[in-house]
Copies of this chain bind each other. A is one copy, B any other.
Amino acid sequence: VPAPIDSVEDRLIAKFFAPLARDPGAFGLIDDAAILAPPPGHDVVLKTDAIVGSVHFFPDDPAGKIGRKALRVNLSDLAAKGAKPAGFLMTLALPAGTVDAWLADFAAGLGADVRQYDCPLLGGDTVRSVGTVMVSIAAYGLVPHGTMVRRNGARPGDVVCVTGTIGDAALGLGLRLEPGRAAGLAEHARDHLLSRYLLPQPRTALAEPLRSHASAAMDVSDGLAGDLAKLCRASGVSARIDADDVPLSDAARAAIAARAGSLETALTGGDDYEIVCTIGPDDVAAFRSAAARAGVEVTVIGRIVAGDDRPRFVDGGGQALSFARPSFSHF
């Protein structure tokens, strides 16, 4: 008989996480480190994002959804940079008394995404948390050398596009914080907004079209207004956005109609995990058809303009919207 497995951590790894680590470079999680061997002529794109209980999710969220969200917020960044997922490392900080049932659910959710996105667990560390659960993931993607899509390439005249719909998750978070806000909403609208907060949908399929056509891109995680401002600042430009063109789900429209201030929540709240990108004017048609072939809805919402003012969001009457808090911050 082999010597027994010693520690609680070894047991957790063997029971819950080794099955997510089938890549040969992970060595079955029995070594101290993993190997990533990029194909010749490729760069490794590196990204880390952490989610913390009571900050980025509710401690009573289903554990499987927490695991998936932790990976997906990173996959969203890789997609925006044009990268194909290649694997990830995970630090999991667990409060004393975390039970196996929670871990089994967490690993099952994460494992489903490992398969869905073909993104293996390559290694990790499990530590005691003195507070809530925290999951920090460092994700790796691959791009042909020199083709990572940057934030800083937007030029005046470029068209500004976003994927999917904006604001659902922030409005869903509002419903979690104040369930009374759901009063006027149909059940399917409420469920849509709640599920968009709980489980991001990274636009992985858009990576290649972005690499081929975008002058700049980033994922929208801290609110469209604030994130677009960051892209513009990095590029040394400004933007004019037609607020009426920002794509909203029917559920978001209902929530906005029901409660004053909700449009601002939609445009400045966090957790969209959509992509905002800029496309040279001659490339828009090609980008739109590539996105359509990839199955990702994209909407033109405005244009990059010269200058260094914050991007202006203008309504149908030509009035600029003003935001009390243009970007989400956890601090």
A: which residues have CB within 8 A of B?
A: 1-3, 6-10, 27, 30-38, 40, 43-56, 77-78, 80-81, 83, 87, 89-91, 93, 122-125, 127-132, 134, 136, 138, 140-141, 145, 148, 150-152, 218-219, 222, 226, 229-230, 232-234, 308-310, 326-327, 329-331
Contacts and interface: CB of A to CB of B under 8 A. Distances in A.
This chain: how many copies in the complex?
2
A7 B48 contact: no
A70 to B, nearest CB: 11
B331 A53 contact: no
A78 B33 CA distance: 8
Contact of A150 (B31, B43, B47, B309): B31
Nearest to A37: B43
A33 B47 contact: yes
B138 A129 contact: no
Interface of A is mostly: mixed
B48 A80 contact: no
Contacts of A37: 43-44, 145
A248 B101 CA distance: 44
A6 B54 contact: no
A276 B145 CA distance: 37
Contacts of A128: 52, 55, 330-331
Contacts of A127: 50-52, 55-56, 134, 330
A38 to B, nearest CB: 6
Contacts of A81: 31-33
Contact of A151 (B30, B49, B54, B326): B30
Contacts of A233: 2-3
Given A8-B329, A38-B44, A48-B123, 10 more contacts: A6-B226, A9-B330, A30-B152, A33-B83, A33-B148, A34-B47, A37-B145, A52-B127, A52-B129, A128-B330
Contact of A148 (B35, B52, B91, B331): B35
A226 B9 CA distance: 13
A43 B123 CA distance: 16
B55 A130 contact: yes
A136 B51 CA distance: 12
Given A37-B43, A40-B40, A152-B31, A90 B48 contact: yes
A146 to B, nearest CB: 8
A1 to B, nearest CB: 7
A9 B2 CA distance: 49
A42 B303 CA distance: 43
A80 B226 CA distance: 43
A35 B78 CA distance: 11
